[in-house]
Amino acid sequence: MDGKWLQSLMARRSFLTRLGAGVGAAAAGAPGAMARPAEDAAFRPARHAQDDWYDKVPGVHRFVFDTASADGMAWALQFASNYYTANTDTYGLKDSDLAVVIIARHKSTPFAYNDAMWAKYGKQLSDQTDFTDPKTKMPPTVNLYLAEDSGLQQAGKMAALIKKGAQFAVCGMSTRGVAGRIAKANGLETDAVFKEISANLIGNSHMVPAGILAVNRAQERGYTFTYAV
């Protein structure tokens, strides 16, 4: 009796296994089956209107340079200049074929401020960037990376890149910290200083909520990433 019961149970399991396999195969081949192409399951980042400017930069190639120090900004200006030159000389591309974004965050943020801000708040900006004028050893009174006669190896490169169409993403969090330092040193209101700096950025600049956020958003919009150090 026990042997017959065991044989019956095994036969029933075998039948159910075959039935399940047949149903699965039929469903996979049927129109409108639940199975979807692998690409439908691929990750797609959310899009936000305040980031749409990344897509408005013209170009058939996209590159983002991340900087967080004075030296990082210097290298980014050099590498971005090389990127334009190599694409022009080797591929015959125009400047407008290249979408380039340089992120200014942390200690490189003030290099996205214009000469008026450096002339007015040079001491605090020098403290923020750990950067002094190599000639005078004093806080700069102009943005030396923007000046074409600064004597720096990168002299003129920032201005040239702006003319080529390169864009700058400026860290809002860092700028607010700078504004607080300036306000404290000069008896001013942080919000007022932040507003003043925001109105005095270098050309082709975009104030972003945070530089590190710009790193993320640019890559999600198809920009190849490099960190300039």
Cα–Cα distance measured from residue 193 to residue 116, given in angstroms and rounded to the nearest whole number: 13
**Per-residue pLDDT reduced to its tens digit, 178-211:** 999 999 999 999 999 999 999 999 999 999 999 9
Cα–Cα distance measured from residue 211 to residue 173, given in angstroms and rounded to the nearest whole number: 8
pTM of the model: 0.83
The CA angle 69-168-93, to the nearest 5 degrees, is: 115
What residues have CB less than 8 Å from 215, skipping those under 6 apart?
Answer: 64, 66, 103, 225
Domain boundaries, the chain: 52-227
- Please, are residues 138 and 101 in contact by the beta-carbon 8 Å criterion? no
What would the two tokens of residue 191 be? Answer: 């919000």
**Per-residue pLDDT reduced to its tens digit, 122-177:** 999 999 999 999 999 999 999 999 999 998 999 999 999 999 999 999 999 999 99
Q: What are phi and psi for residue 101, nearest 5 degrees? A: -125, 130
Residue carrying structure tokens 């990376």: 145
The CATH number of the structural domain formed by 52-227 is 3.40.1260.10
| More reliable by pLDDT, 7 or 221 | 221
